[in-house]
Chains A and B, each alone.
Chain A
Amino acid sequence: MSRQTVIPISIEDDTSLESFYSKRNQPLIEQLKNLLVGVCAKRVLYLWGESGSGKTHLLNACCQAAGKSGMQNLYVSLKQDGGQDGGRLEKLSDVHKDTLVCIDDLQQIVGSESGQNQIFSLYEKIMHGAGAIVVSGTSPLGSIGITLKDLESRLSSGGTFNIYALDDDEKRTALKLRAAKRGFALDDSVIRFIMSRYQRDTKSLFALLDKLDSGSLQAHRKITIPFVKTLM
C-alpha cells in the first residue's frame, strides 16, 4: 500500500498560561498573570524547575499574552547563545524600558561575568520603566551559581517559584488533551503502554505525540499499541 504524503502542517500547541496544565502550579500561573497586568509588588519573578517542567512554555506564554495586548515583549534563551557573551545578550542593551523580557536558562551564564552584568543592566533599565522581567533556571536562585550578588538579590526580590513537574496522572491528562487538539483520541490502554515503556518526561512524550500524529496519517493506521510499538 502506498504511503500517504503528509503536508507538513502541524498544529502548534497552544502556548498560553491557561494551557499550562497543572493544578499545583496554579499560584505561579496566577502570579505571572498578576505580573502581566502590573499588580505584583515587584515586577520581577524567578521560576525554576528541571528540564521539561515547562519553563520555556511559561515564558513564551507570558510573551504571547503581553503581545496580544500590544505590550512589547522579548523572549531570550541563553542556551541558544551557547553560553557565550554577546550575540543574543547584546540585544538586551537595545530593549525598551517598558518591555516584558523573559530570560530562559539563566544557568547558562553562570561562568560569564559580562553576561551577568548585561542582565543586571537590563534589570535596572526595566525597573526605571514600566516593563517586567521573568527569568527561569534549572535550580533555585541561591544555588544556581550567580557570582554577581547584586543580580541574584534583585532577581529574588519578587519571589522565586519552583515549577512542579507534572505527575503521571497529570501527564496522562495532558497527553489526552493534546491528542484531542490534534483531532485524534488516545485510548487509555495506549497511554498506559506509552507511560510504562517510553521516557516519561513531558518533552519526550509530546514529541512522541507528534510522531504518532504524522505516522498514523502516513500509514492510514489507527493509534493502537502495535502501531505505537513501531514508532517507539
Chain B
Amino acid sequence: MWDTCLQKLRTELSSDDINTWLMPLHPNFNGSTLNLLAPNRYVLNYVKQNLFGQIEAAILAMDIGIDQVRFEIGSYHQDHAETLDGRPPATRGFSFSQENEAGALLPYSGGVLNTNYTFATHVEGTSNQLARAAALQVGKSPGKAFNPLFIYGGVGLGKTHLMQAAGQLMLDSNAAAKVIYVHSELFVNDMVKALKNNTMNEFKRYYRSLDALLIDDIQFFAKKTQSQEEFFHTFNALLEGQRQIIITSDRIPKAINYIEERLISRFGSGLTVSIDPPELETRVAILEKKALERGVNLPNDVAFFVANAVHSNVRELEGALHRILASASFTDRSIDIDLAREALRDILLHRETQISIENIQQIVAEYYKIRVADLLSKNRSRSVTRPRQLAMSFAKQFTNLSLPQIGDHFGGRDHTTVLHACRRIKELVQSDSRMKEDQKNLQRLLNG
C-alpha cells in the first residue's frame, strides 16, 4: 500500500524529495493508523514540516481505511533478516528505543539484537568454523551446550555477529526469552549511572533476571574493579540458573590483563573458541555477499583486488566496499579495478608504507598455502624452501633490513643463507616460468 502511495506521490513531488526523504521511511500499518518510521530526527522533522500534507492527502485519497498518518523515529521491526538496505539496524527482542523511551521496561543499555546478525548472513570459513559451530549449538540449546561460551579474536572479525546470531536463534525458539546484548563499556556506564542514581538494586535485578546475556568485548572491564565485582555476581547468578552467557574478547581469558583471577577462571569454564582473520577466499566471499545485500554484483577480479588490499578484518573490508560503492554510485561509473584502486588509494598508500617482513611472510605463506611457522622452521623440503627463499628476496627488496636482520626474522638464519636465497630466486625467475609467475603474482599482492 505504501508503494502505491509512493507511486501516486511521484506525480506530485520531485524525484529528489521521493528518494531523499520518502524512501528512507518505513511504513507500519496499525488498524486505521499508518505509522511512518523515520531513521532519524533529521528526516522526521523535514518530512513533517514539508511533505506531511501531500502524504496525508495521498493516503486519504486511496481510501484504504487509513484515517490517520503519524510519524515516529524507528527502530522498526522486521520479520526476516535478509535485508541490509542501509537503515539503522533493525532490532529484535526488546526494542531499545521504544521501551526505553516509554520508561521502565528497559532502563539499561543492553537489549538491542541487530537482526542483520544472523547465521544466514554470516560467511563461514576455516577461520571461524569452530566458533560458528559452537555459537549455533548454543543458540539451539541455550544454557545447556556450552556455558559460558567465550569467543575471542582480533578486532572486526565477526565476534559480535556470531554472538548475536546465537541470540537470534534463541529468540526463534522462544520469542519471549529475555536475550540481552550489551557492550562491556555500556554495562560499566549503566552501572556508574545506577550507582549515581542509587538504583543498584534495580540494576542487579534487571541483569540477573535474564535468560541469556551476551556481553561484548569483556577486555573493557580491565581495571574497573567494581564493575568486575558486580559482573562476577551477575555471572554466577545466571550460570546457577542455567541461563546462557556468551562473552567475547580480543584475547584468550588468561591473557586479559587487570581482570580478577576468579573471573578469568570462570570465563574459561565453558567453551573457549577463537576466530582468526579470514583467509583470502573468505574475504572474497564476504565482499561478494555484502555487495549483493546492497543489490550490487561485485566483479570477481575487484573482489579479489579488495580482499588482497584489506587483510586485517571484516569491518575494514566492509568500509572499503562502502567507499567503492559510493564512488561508483556518485560518479556513475561501473565497478572495475581502476575505480577500486582510486577509491581505496588511502588504504593502498598506507599499505605501501606498511610492507613489513611480517606482511611478506604472511602473504607468501598464504599464497603457497603453508603456515608462517613453516617459513621460520628448519624444514628443508622444497615445498617450504622455495617460498622461504622468495620471502627472503622480497624482504630484501621491500624493507630496509640488513641481511643479518632478515636472517634473524626467518628463524635465526645466517646472512649468507639470505644472500643465497636472493641469488637463487633471481636465477629461477629467469629460468623457470612458474617461479616468474609466482613472483609476479606475489609482487602484485604486496603492492596491493
Point out residues on A near B: beta carbons under 8 Å: 26-27, 30-31, 33-34, 36-43, 48, 65-66, 69-72, 93, 98, 100, 117, 120-121, 124-125, 128-132, 140-143, 149-150, 152-154, 156-162
Contacts and interface: CB of A to CB of B under 8 A. Distances in A.
A26 B23 CA distance: 22
B282 interface: no
B45 A70 contact: yes
Given A69-B41, A70-B42, A100-B42, 16 more contacts: A30-B329, A41-B84, A41-B318, A42-B319, A42-B322, A69-B45, A124-B185, A125-B189, A130-B40, A142-B347, A142-B350, A149-B154, A153-B156, A153-B315, A156-B316, A161-B326
Contacts of A152: 155
A69 B45 CA distance: 6
A130 B318 contact: no
Interface string B56-83: 0000000000000000010100000000
B447 to A, nearest CB: 16
Given A26-B330, A161-B323, A37 B45 contact: no
A38 B40 CA distance: 7
24 contacts: A27-B331, A30-B329, A33-B20, A37-B24, A37-B40, A38-B43, A39-B24, A41-B86, A41-B294, A41-B322, A42-B319, A70-B42, A124-B186, A130-B41, A140-B346, A143-B350, A149-B155, A150-B155, A150-B217, A156-B316, A157-B315, A157-B322, A160-B323, A162-B346
Nearest to B110: A128
A69 B322 contact: no
Contact of B316 (A121, A125, A131, A157): A157
Contact of A66 (B42, B84, B155, B294): B42
**Best-surrounded residue of B109, B112, B316, B327 (most CB of chain A within 10 A):** B316
Contacts of A40: 86, 322
A175 B155 CA distance: 45
A130 B322 contact: no
B288 interface: no
B320 interface: yes
Contact of B40 (A117, A124, A131, A150): A131
A154 B156 CA distance: 8
A221 to B, nearest CB: 44
A72 to B, nearest CB: 7
B38 A42 contact: no
Contacts of B347: 140, 142, 160
B319 A160 contact: yes
Contacts of A161: 323, 326
In the A-B complex, the 6 residue pairs with the closest CB atoms:
A38-B39, A159-B322, A159-B323, A153-B156, A140-B346, A71-B42
B191 to A, nearest CB: 13
A70 B41 contact: yes
Contacts of A34: 86
Contact of A48 (B155, B315, B346): B346
A48 B347 CA distance: 12
A152 to B, nearest CB: 8
A131 B41 CA distance: 9
B21 interface: yes
A66 B318 CA distance: 26
B330 A38 contact: no
B353 interface: yes
A181 B24 CA distance: 35
B329 to A, nearest CB: 8
Nearest to B157: A153
A30 B109 CA distance: 32
A157 B319 contact: yes
A72 B24 CA distance: 19
B318 A157 contact: yes
Nearest to A72: B41
Contacts of A36: 42
B250 A128 contact: no
Contact of B97 (A39, A100, A129): A129
Interface string B4-39: 000000000000000011011000000000000011
Interface string B97-135: 100000000000100100000000000000000000000
B319 A158 contact: yes
A141 B316 CA distance: 10
Contacts of B87: 38-39
A37 B313 CA distance: 28
A143 B353 contact: yes
Contacts of A153: 155-156, 312-313, 315-316
A39 B156 contact: no
B331 A38 contact: no
A157 B161 CA distance: 14
A124 B322 CA distance: 20
A93 B188 CA distance: 13
B315 A154 contact: yes
Nearest to B330: A27
A27 B315 contact: no
Among A69, A70, A100, the most chain B Cβ lie within 10 Å of the Cβ of A69
B367 interface: no
Contacts of B330: 26-27, 30-31
Nearest to A162: B346
Contact of A128 (B23, B112, B350): B112
Contacts of B73: 98, 130
Given A153-B316, A159-B319, A31 B326 contact: yes
Given A39-B23, A142-B347, A158-B319, A71 B41 contact: yes
Contacts of A100: 42
Interface in B318-339: 318-320, 322-323, 326-327, 329-331
A68 to B, nearest CB: 9
Contacts of A71: 40-42, 45
Most A CB contacts (10 A, CB to CB) among B41, B75, B330 go to B41
